Structure 1
Amino acid sequence: MRPIPTHPLSELAFSIGTVVDGSATTADVLATYRDHLECDAVAVYARTATPDGTVSYRRRAAVPSVPDSEPFRAALEHLPADADGDEDFRASLPIVDTVDGMEYWLLEIPDVGVLVLLEPAALSAETVDALEPLNERVGTFITHSAGQVASEFEPVGQPGQRHEPESYDQLRWIIDLFPQPVFVKDETGRYLVANDALADMFGMTIEDIEGATDDEVIASRTEVSRVQAHDMAVIEANKPIEITGERVTDAAGKRRVFDTTKVPYDTLDDGRRAILAVANDVTERRERERELERSRDFLEKVQESASIGAWEVDDAGETLRWEDEVSRIIGRSPEYEATVKEALAVIHPDDRSMIETAFETLMAEGTSFDREVRITTATDDVRWVRIRADPRHDDEGTYIGARGIVQDIHERKARELELEQLKERFERFAGAVRYGFTLIRPDYSEMLYQNPAAAEMYGVSAADLRDDPLAWLERVHPDDRERVANAFETDEPATLDGTQSLEFRIDHSDNGYRWLLIRSHAVLDDDGSVAHLASVTVDITERRRLEDELRASEQSLRRLVEIASDTKLSFEQKRSQLLALGCDHLGLPYGFLNRDDGDEWVLVDAVGTHPELQIGGPSPAARPCRQCSRSPKSIVAIEDIQTDETIAAGTTQPSFECYLGSTVLVDGESYGTLCFADDSPRAAEFTRSERAFVELLVQWLGYELTGQQVEHRLRELNETARHLMAAETPAEIAAVATESADDILEIPVTGIWDYNEQRDALVPRAMAAGEQTGVDELPTFERERDESAATNGHDGIVWEVFETGERLVRGESTTVLATESETMAIHSKLLLPLGTHGLLIAGSTEDTTFSETDRNLLEILAATVEAALDRAEHEQLLRTARADLERSNQQLEQFAYAASHDIKEPLRSAANYLTLFEELYEPGDTLDEDAFALLEQATAGTQRLRSMIDGLLQYSRIESVAEPTDPVEFDSVVDQATLNLAVRLDETDGTVTRDALPTVRGDNRLLVQLVQNLLDNGLKYHGGDHPQVHVALAADEPVSPDDVADATGGTRPETDCYHVRVEDNGKGMDPDAVSRAFDVFERHGRRDDDGTGMGLPLCQRIVEHHGGALSIDSELGVGTAVNLWLPAADS
């Protein structure tokens, strides 16, 4: 055990000199303090300051070792934690105060720290004065002892020198002064002397360590080997060694790092060598260094990510340096070096003077500044930055320049400006809307924001609402007040689920009772706590009124549906009941339906007793009852007719004072009016629901009346369909259809056009009421002409409709229907296709276009007309087929008769000659000339029979040839036929001539056969030595089918034809021969053995197959002319 000094305080100051600078103040010294001053506790706290400005006070020693009392803790609360606080703290020393009857003192120990004393009795002023020099000497002694140990260690171990402490206690005293571990150890690793710091590190007492070896103190064998290796290196080198980063595991199992100084110690009496070591624990410093390095790396990354760059300038403002990040922020390369003037030029012109002034003040007076300004980058982009600057001073406080940062805050600033704009817009919006906006504390204690409409909404002043957010509660309707008050007073209702919604009535100071709706929403802060309540207040008086009206009208609407859907009621019964329902719903005594018959208004139905309401009689004459808007959604509402501006002065005196009604439209046309009225004016305006109810009644009447009208017209059209199906010709069908459009559908301008396939044109067939409407002659639409006109901007829609088969409604267009009337105009046209037959075109003389009902009914009519035309066409084809069959039967009978008579003649002649030959000659007889003559006569008969049969075959095959449609030049036909008759021309010495002939439509082979037969007849039946045949063109232009019919006596081709004459100078025929010329086997003179009688019938058959006509002009002894009408190629 160490002895405790007992010297008086003055002698103690002289003998020990100082007090310690660390956590291990000598307990003996502190005990002397305690004993001399009779203190309850005494302790030394050493001050440690780090380069980063942190100041800490650590307890180095205390008696008792762990003081624990309220006064002691109160004294420690004065110890500061930073440099600024430490300066104020040290300036305030000594500090004295009393806690729980115990006085505590804090006294300064120069260059060490503070001395803390707990004194039951107050210290005298003389004692405090005596402590001051004692404390100075304690501080000096601690500093001197630390230096003395170092100086003593330096020469230790030099050859021939030996250091021997005066005593073990003196060595113990010295090493106890050190806060860090200090020990003396021999060459075997045994500890001879150790201090408290070493014992604390290994969790042992000094007595346990002294005499123990490394193996007994240090847990790790690896660490033991490394430590002993260092010890032997010092002993063998006999000189001090600095060991950096020596690692040893402490009692807590933590590996600690030491920078250890080991020096040779005196050789012991038994010859053992020893070392003395001072171990400085740098574990925390190393950790701080590593942390500092990590922090430095982190700071660099943060600077880069946060766009912060540092800069500094000297005191003269001439040398400016900055980091690369500054270059990046201002848009320059890292190599760019700028002067202060050039750097200031980067500032936006509008902000530059502010920064220049701040910089000048900084350089002149050392005043810091922090500004947010705009800069202009090298690419002329304007960006926001933050510039901060602080003065720089050396250790003596001399100004040496300035340093600061540049931070890119463009994105943040942009967001701030955007938020500012949003805030400004919100405030403008909140100030303009009719809703009340408020922001209130969650406990309704403070109004944070209110827009102008909020106070107006509650009927209180803005000041009252600002002072008390619930100032309006006293204005709440008595029936609602308790409910509203509970909502605001219990459990913060707006914060329970985040929202609150309340509807209530409030007695507004200007507007009486109004319905309000408050919706509040809890706005949370980052911690999830309610920061404030955002509320919107809306005046819902109108909405509640409408809800009441809707509820009131619900029963009426249900009743309306029940009446309208009751199939047991007639239309008239439904109409009367709905009028009564309307009166009941509107609270008006009269309801009536008027019909406009053109010349007069008729009262159709009425509810209520009034002199002017006589069903079947004239409707009330007042203007509102008879003149309503034609719009289906227009309601005329007059609460007081005497004040209504729409009733002109001097008009018929109104029958009623109050009126609500609208026009009833039937298929888009005005039917009349539905009215509800009262003899007295109405105080309140008609509501929207009341108007809507009348609209429903008007629509129902319109639908019902439209259905009745359509049903009537459909019955009429059904009757028209019966007449159309009975009509036999397209003309009759067209007449019935146009008459029906005028009489039933009341569309007087209706026409029908037939499609002419040969002309490729739409030809007018019939027109209804053309004279009455002023429509002039109907046009013919020719495709080629109309398509050409359409390309020039004219109306060619008729062909579009005909080709597509789709209806088309067209506005006014004079190219379809024209009118000569000055008072009547055709405003729109409806074109409907009739399949392949043509078109039905209707024109409207009304200002409006065709209604959908008119269109649908006209489509029904058009479909019926198309079906009738199909039927008529089929019947016409049937009649034509029947006529063709009858003609074929006649020809067959004629053919049979001819076959039974004319074909027998050559057979009979051949049989007679052969019979005579048989009678005159026996087998084996020699044949003479007579025999050969008989055989020749028999052979000639058979040859003639063959010719007759060939002619019949040609005649019958004509119909099997396809319909002739090719253009054929008739010049070449005549030339080819003439060439085919070259032998006949040589035999007869005849000639064939022709005019310039046109192009016709036909089959070239059949036409050559036709002409060849006619030319052959002319050459064969001549009256002189030189037969002449001439083919002439009777007219340069084609003739119409009607002209052909007149010329032939009934044969009417389908198209225009060219008239060609084949004239000869032959013997001619008498009229009787002409009439039989086209009979089969009829020959010109029965003695003519050269013919078969099939030539002219064959020619007739060919011409008819081409759709043409044929006739004969002949005079006996003069010659014959055969007239041919052949279809023109372009017809």
Structure 2
Amino acid sequence: MGSSDSAGVSGEDVRRAFSHSERSPTPLTTVEVADRLDCSPGPARQGLEELVDRGELRVKRIDDSTRIWWPDEMANADPDRRSEQEEFAAFVSAVRDYAIFMLDPDGTVASWNEGAERIKGYSEDAIVGNHFSTFYTDEDMADDVPQTNLETAAAEGRAEDEGWRVRSDGTRFWANVVITAIRDDGGQLRGFTKVTRDMTERREYEQQLRRERDLTERILETVPITIGVVTEDNALVRANRRMLEHFAIEDSAIETYSLESWELYDAAGEPIPADEQPWARARERGEPVYDAQRQVEVPGIGRRWLSLNAAPLDDDQAEDGRIVVAIDDITDQKERERLLRREYNQTEKLLRTAPIAIAVQNAEGETILTNQRAQESLGLSDQEFIGESDDVGEWEIYDSDGERLPTNEMPAARVLETGNPVFNEELVVDPPDDELLQFRVNATPLHGPDGGVERVVTAAEDITELKRRERQLEQRKSELETELSDILGRISDAFYALDDEWRFTHLNEQAAETLQQSRDDVLGRKVWTTFPDDAEGIYREQFQQAMETQEPVNFEVYAEDLDTWLEYNVYPSESGLSIYFHDITERKEYQRKLEKSNERLEQFAYAASHDLQEPLRMVSSYLQLLESRYSDELDDDGEEFIEFAVDGAERMRKMIDGLLAYSRVDTQGEPFEPVDLDTVVDAVCEDLQMKIEETDAEITAESLPRVRGDESQIQQVFQNLVSNALEYSGDEPPQVEITAERARSKWIVSVEDNGIGIDPDDQDRVFEVFERLHSRDKYDGTGIGLALCQRIIERHEGTIWIDSEPGEGTTFSFALPAVDA
């Protein structure tokens, strides 16, 4: 009979269990009988109770959970039947698993049984007569535990305790102790019975179970998924903290929470019936259900993607169909999968529709995918590309040098072999029945998890038309080169061209002759290598300025190695410079001689003007003296003649002063420095204040800039121009407006009036020395003022010009260098 056969334990079976005892009769516990019958305690207990009812067995409860059974033949040992006390004494003596003994009212051991000797290690002779506190630890003795237990049993009839007890050899064991008071019919305390059971193994087993339970609890609380237990009606009876927090379940609401409140949907969003839900299937089949990915509408949370795992709870005591559920929230994972699918679809669509030919090969070199452009470029279908059709003819592929490429030297094959990408390789494809095609190919490896090449992506740009145009352009370039060479040969100036890296690209014979180098030696070299070290800086500065500003540059340079003055005109473009230069040595020599002559003329003019001052003062003085002494003797004609002579001398003095100022513009000028034109105009207006008031003139000036120049000379220019505007104003009160406008590195200053104007035919004449457009009777002046203005502006490397019509007023404009130029 095995434990699986829980029914049918007969009285005969129970009798046989007692007959196995070495010495009969031996009391046995229910568990001991079940072990001997190889069945569970329940059927053994039923068989024992059956024999008790028949009077064949006797039974006694020795603690709350344990009863002992023995055959009734013990009562038949004496024909006179022993008293119940003697019978119990015999029973006690035979029990081996319990220490059962009597205590006197003061706690002295009065009897001893075999179980007590086995458990505690004392023989009957050694322990009877000693106080039962002998079995207690020092700690319990200090706490007076033995006496307390006796007093409790005496007062309440019974005391139960668990704790460490001491054997005769000093070792400890964990004991369950029940002390029961014994009283006579009159209620007098006669002593105590003490039943002790060795619970050491059970305690260790319970502690192990407790440790395992604690470990299980810690695991449940630390695993990164939600875990719970549900009953047959899917009510939640247990959950780890992660489950409570993830699904917002209050601790107090666990008993009322049910998975019935969850609505489950499949991937398409269709509801899942209750009997097909993972916990229902696990309960029905009696086996786990793993990774059932469902959309779940969770109360208070909303719809989430969950991976549901359900398994029946393997517990003999679980009779309510409990299921363990483990839940992993995969909503984020599903969203990533959705985005990846979308990206994959977009990438595949991009690949399929990309404007360049793309093919994908696997690790065996087989083409597994081509896009539409690749199929169109080569006139092959997708099936023909991936080798599912034999009707593709013979294709030949060549490198850019025209060498035929074997299969193992194709870009994709080399990538598979080396794992390194191939970039910008030009190939020529010769179809069976079509014209040659040219492609620029890039091949890139895609590595698998093990680091090996898993795929090769080949992208090919059809450059057939591009190459055709390149050939046409090369041909046209060659023709243009020939034409350009002819043109350059006819240019009288020396000419060369530089690219954006300063290399010679063109050079005519005149330039080669001037540079004293052959065309073949110079072409392709950087321009700086053709100049002497001491002259390179001049060229570099001017050439770089032209490239940076994209403005033409003109400069002159003395080439010492050639003993020649050269004038350069540099014209920039985005691709480089065009440079024209020619020998100006003769012109520079002429300029030198002219400057020398001008210098002598200026010296002569200064000397002559200075020397004329003295006789002119003498003439004026004697005329004034003649007038003062002999005025009474002169008639009207004489006085008029003297007046004409004095006026002529005064005009001569002014002309000499003007000529002196004109000759001193270059020789007596001050160094250039920043000049505030507002300050200059204010000074001019102050000097001309009397004339401004006499003519009722209105002079307006906007905010004027600062320029570089000689302040006194610039003031002279403004004074001459404003004076002329006041002088030649006509019948209306003069109105003068002074403005300025920026033009790159210079300021253009304008002085505009409302006067009588100047005929365009006379506008060049007004800048000549002593040139007058009106008689002295009508307008006073020496005819040198505007010539002086032009000389001053030219010293400032500027120009002066006129915009005027008769009767429409006049605008004088001139250029001065800006301070920040």
Largest Rg, 1 or 2: 1
Q: TM-score range by the shorter chain?
A: 0.3 to 0.5
TM-score by length of 1: 0.35
